[in-house]
Amino acid sequence: MLISIILLIVGFVLLVRGADTFVDAAAGVAQRFNIPEIIIGTTLVAIGTSAPEAAISITAALAGSDGVSIGNIIGSNITNIFLILGITAVIAALPIRANTKYYELPFVGMITLLLCLIGLWFSEIARPAAAMFLVLFVGFIIYTIIMARRSNEPAPEYKKIPILETVVMIAAGIAALIIGSNLIVDSATDIATRIGVSERVIGLTLVALGTSLPELVVCVAAALKREYDMAVGNIVGSNIFNILFVLGTTAAIRPLPFESAFLMDGLVALMAVTMLMIFVARNSKLGRVGGILFLIAYVIYVYYLMV
């Protein structure tokens, strides 16, 4: 099992590096076609943070490891709120922007509930549901661009890269994503078999935690720099992308069976969003008490999965 753990770590490193390399190269291509910086920033950054989840879920689905595929998506959303926002809020109280409070958080709740209802009613995430999620994803991208224009905040800057270097970077990024995701799925499945837990539990915990590490780094760094909007916005955007983009793309490639146990996990994800909305309802801020409660909730959830 030691080899599987080492391969799992190597897979996560390749996954994160591959996503970063691919985003930088894709931004260079977009600049060559004179695509506005604001569109590059709002779309590529968001897609880049969800690339690890997408690579793993698609790879797992193609390999027949549906528990890892769906578990990774739902588990990442639970981890993002309970663990990552919990840790970040303990470091510093997090103010929530009005558009996040009134529009984006309810939207996360709505699509999470929609996922639960589809799974309950049809017992699978089929291609029609995938198409609906992808249409909603396009709508959210348009909303993100509009909000970015209104905020007048400078878009992320990307250096111009020579065309040959761009091609090499894109190829290297995709290769790293493919190799890393295959290593993670294979090693996670092996670990699950050896310790006697289901692929669903491994997907919800170990794999989800690994794919959420980039968000943890971004959020903690943003909190320490007092860039609070980036911390909360990164998590909310990631949760939306995980359901609409990652799940939508994965289920479009291969319909995913939705086992009954996932309904409880989906409801936990919905509870996490609801708790966040309740905590920020009064003063638009997630404080340290809320952060501690989120961390306790995460520990309880993981304990529930393991027993």
Q: Where are the domains of the chain?
A: 2-306
Instruction: List the one residue out of 78, 60, 80, 62 whose CA is nearest residue 70.
Output: 60
pLDDT range class, residue 70, cuts 50, 70, 90: very high
Q: Is the pLDDT of residue 47 over 80?
A: no
Regarding pTM above 0.85, the answer is yes
pLDDT range class, residue 153, cuts 50, 70, 90: low
Cα dihedral 105/111/113/118 (nearest 10): 180
**Crossing angle, helix 2-32 and helix 45-62, to 10 degrees?**
130
Predicted local distance difference test score (pLDDT) of residue 42: 56
228 CB neighbour count, 10 Å cutoff: 21
- Rounded to the nearest integer, the mean pLDDT of the chain is 85
CATH number of 2-306: 1.20.1420.30
Predicted local distance difference test score (pLDDT) of residue 236: 87
- Are 209 and 80 spatial neighbours (Cβ–Cβ below 8 Å)? no
pLDDT-wise least confident of 20-34, 57-71, 134-148, 215-229: 20-34
- Are 211 and 14 spatial neighbours (Cβ–Cβ below 8 Å)? no
Instruction: Report, as an integer, the average pLDDT of 13-26.
Output: 78
- Are 97 and 232 spatial neighbours (Cβ–Cβ below 8 Å)? yes
Give residue for tokens 């929530």: 96
